[in-house]
Structure 1
Amino acid sequence: MVFLLWSRPSPKDQKACLEKCDSFNYDAKYQGSTDRPVCALQKDERLSAEGFLLNHARARIGSGLETYEKGKQALQNWRHFQMKWTFVEPNTPIKRGVKFCVCVKEFLPWLMMPLQVVYVNENKTSEKMKASYRFGSGTLHGHLLAGEERFSVELDENNEVWYEILSFSKPSHLLSFMGYPYVKLRQKYFAKESADALLKHISSN
C-alpha cells in the first residue's frame, strides 16, 4: 500500500490516507526509543540485529533563550517541513496519539507517508542542557519505511541552541527496499534543508 498523487495532497487527501492507516508498522517494544540519547541507540544491538539503521544530524541554529523559544515554536508549527518538496499541515497539533502525513514530492508524483506522534517532552533544566523540546513520531502502515524519528531543539549549558534529528528506520515496502541508498541520501538532504528552513524562520522573526 503506497499513497501516490499527481498533485499536491489536500487535507481531504491526507485524511483519507490516515483513515486507512490505523496501526504502527514497527514493533511496540521500540516505540519511544528515540527519546533516549544518541549513544544509547548506537549501542542497542537489537536495532541493528533487526535491520534498523540510525540517522543522526545536529546543527547550531543560534544562541540564547529567545532563539530556543523561536526554535521550539518553529517545530510546533512544522516549519522544519515547510519546503517546496515536502510539508506537513502546519495546524497539525503535536500531541501524543495525533496522526499526520508527511507529504513529499519525488520527481513527478507526491507521496503521502502516515505517522503518529509517540511522545512530546520538554525539559527546562538538566545537567547537560538548560532546556530542550522534542517530539517523536512512528511510522504507520502505508509508510515506505518502518521506524521512528525525533526532532528536538536544545539550549545547552554554553547558551548555544541546537536543532537535532534522530531516527532509526528500515525499508517496509519493495520500493524503499530497492531504492534504499537513495532514501538514505534523501534523509541527509532533508536534514540540511530542514535546518536551513528553521534558521530562515528564526532570523525573520
Structure 2
Amino acid sequence: MFLLRRPTPAAVQAFLHAQRRSGLTYPEVGGTRGGPLPAGYAHDRHRALLGHGADCYARARDALNSWQMFRTGWITLCTPDAAFREGETLVVQVAHLGFWSLIADRVVYTVDEERVCAFGYGTLDGHAEQGEERFTVRFAPGGEVWFELLAFSRPRHPLARLGGPVVRALQRRAARSYTAAMRRAVNG
C-alpha cells in the first residue's frame, strides 16, 4: 500500500486486520528453508559477522526473536508485540522516495535450535513484491556469530514492475539497514 503521508495508527490497524485474512502471494512457500531458491525470481544473499562467542549468539538470538532488525530509521515494525512464531502477520511501515508504504508479510516458519535461530516470512496481498525472505543468526563451530539474509522476490504491483531498478536498490538498502540494526542490537 503506497501512501503520500505517514499512515495513522487507525490506518495501520485496518491494514493489519485485512492482511491477517489475506493469503500468501507465491506458491513456493518455504522456499528459503533449504535447497535451491525457486527460478523466476531475483535472489538475494547477505551475510555479516556480528561477533564471537556464546554471549554474542545469545544477544543475537534475542534480537532476532524481538524483531530488532526492523529498527532502521526508515523501516518501522508496526506490530512489535508479534510473537516469534509461524502464522504471525507482520506489518512494516517504510519511508522512501518521498512517500510511505505499509507492507505485510506472514511468518511461514521458524527455526530455534542450539546454534541457529531463523524465521522466513512471505508476502501477502498488500505487498508490492511477491516472494519470501529468511533472517538467520548462526553460531558457527569456530565461535563466529553470523547474521544472514536469504530472499527471492519479483515485482507484483505495477509500480514495482515499472521501478524495477529502484526497487532492487531499496532491497539492497534494506539488507544493509537490517544488518546495521542487528549489529546495534547485539553490540550496543
Alignment TM class, shorter chain as reference: over 0.9
2:50 partner amino acid: I
Q: Contact conserved, 2:56 with 2:186, CA < 8 A, in 1?
A: yes
| CA gap 1:163/1:9 in 2 versus in 1, 3 angstroms | farther
User: Identity of aligned pairs, percent?
Assistant: 30
**1:13 and 2:8 matched:** no
Tell me which of 55, 67, 76 is aligned to 2:65: 76
Pairwise mapping of residues 143-154 of structure 1 onto structure 2 (< 5 A)? Answer: 143-154=127-138
Whole-Å separation in 2 of the counterparts to 1:192 and 1:9: 27
Whole-Å separation in 1 of the counterparts to 2:177 and 2:129: 20
Whole-Å separation in 2 of the counterparts to 1:138 and 1:115: 5
- 5+ unaligned residues in a row in structure 2: which ranges? none
**1:179 and 2:163 matched:** yes
Whole-Å separation in 2 of the counterparts to 1:6 and 1:151: 29
How many residues of Structure 1 are paired with residues of Structure 2 in the alignment?
185
SS of aligned partner of 2:36: helix
Pairwise mapping of residues 14-53 of structure 1 onto structure 2 (< 5 A)? Answer: 14-21=12-19, 22-27=22-27, 30-36=28-34, 40-42=35-37, 47-48=38-39, 51-53=40-42
- 5+ unaligned residues in a row in structure 1: which ranges? 125-130
Report the TM-score, using the length of structure 2 for normalisation.
0.92
Pairwise mapping of residues 78-93 of structure 1 onto structure 2 (< 5 A)? Answer: 78-89=67-78, 90-93=80-83
Q: Contact conserved, 1:3 with 1:142, CA < 8 A, in 2?
A: no
Aligned to 2:50: 61
Question: Pairwise CA RMSD of aligned residues?
Answer: 1.5
| CA gap 1:19/1:3 in 2 versus in 1, 3 angstroms | farther
Instruction: After the TM superposition, list the runs of 4 or more consecutive aligned residues in structure 1 that deviate by more than 2 angstroms.
Output: 2-5, 12-15, 18-21
Aligned to 1:117: 107
Q: Residue 19 of structure 1: CA displacement?
A: 2.5
Report the TM-score, using the length of structure 1 for normalisation.
0.85
Q: Contact conserved, 1:154 with 1:163, CA < 8 A, in 2?
A: yes
Aligned to 2:139: 155
Q: Contact conserved, 2:45 with 2:148, CA < 8 A, in 1?
A: yes
